[in-house]
Amino acid sequence: MTDGLSALLLQHWWLTPLLTGVLLAAITGPLGSFVVWRRMAFFGDTLAHGALLGITLGVLAEINLTLALLVSCVILALLLLPLQQSSRLSSDTLLGIVSHSTLAIGLVALSLADGIRVDLMGYLFGDLLAVEPADLLMVLAAVIVMASLLGWQWRGLLASTVSPELAGIDGYPVKRLNILLVIMLALVVALAMKVVGILLVSALLVIPAASARSLARTPHQMVLWSALLGMAAVMLGMWASFRWDTPAGPSVVVAAAALFVLSLVNPKRVQQ
């Protein structure tokens, strides 16, 4: 069965990037809903920019870049969470400082590393069409795990999003739920970087969820709509990439932005 699937993916090479993008959108939609509800749009950007520093350290230490990317995103997310809560600066100011600082440090470190070449444009803007079957399997496994965690902790995550104080009174472990959420965000950012790149990764989290907000009336509907809109953006973006020979990752984001504009003229939203 595995050999048959591998043969199918090799015969139809476009299936691998398409399935990878669709699977990724299926989980960035629900997580993006929490990003929108909690006003954490800058959080994904900061993780993506900081990940470049992790890639640089991975190159210098000669370890697997995917592993370095995942580990650096998780560590940065765990560091940002207490910093946001204890810093005297506002959350967006702190995230802006960390985001641009880590991106600049990573770029400077790469420029100083003699004899090391890295596909910087690939990491900055992504290369969906270069995704391999191994990446597809890794994304599939991550999506299954994160979807299971979201389903398991849905009530607690939603309660702590609406009101952390009331969620704590009701017995939900708010701190642990926050840690779980930022770790999942870190993992999905690391995975999405291969598809849309550092500079566009937060768009895949924020835009479909923002589009779904005007179409949904309940949190469950918003999560479902955001996943569907994200998957539609991937398919439309890939079609546009093949049709007009444009970069696949940015084309996906443009498609997501077009769907967002269409959601603004939703008749239900106008009536409200």
| CATH number of 260's domain | 1.10.3470.10
CA 119 to CA 61: how far, in whole Å? 17
- Best CA proximity match to 205, nearest among 15, 20, 42: 42
- Best CA proximity match to 48, nearest among 190, 215, 170: 190
Q: How many CB atoms lie within 10 A of CB 176?
A: 12
> Is pLDDT above 70 for 115?
no
CA 243 to CA 92: how far, in whole Å? 38
CA 268 to CA 216: how far, in whole Å? 10
CB 126 within 8 A of CB 194: yes
Q: Give 12's pLDDT tier (boundaries 50, 70, 90).
A: low
> Is pLDDT above 70 for 161?
yes
DSSP state at residue 130: G
**C-alpha angle 118-13-187 in degrees, rounded to nearest 5:** 50
For 227-260, write each residue's pLDDT tens digit: 999 999 999 999 998 899 888 888 999 999 999 9
CA-based torsion, 154, 157, 160, 166: positive or negative: positive
Across 47-61, 73-87, 90-104, 183-197, the highest mean pLDDT is recorded for 183-197
Q: Give 56's pLDDT tier (boundaries 50, 70, 90).
A: confident
CA end-to-end span of the chain, whole Å? 51
> Is pLDDT above 90 for 152?
yes
> How many structural domains are present in the chain?
1
Range of the domain at 121: 2-271
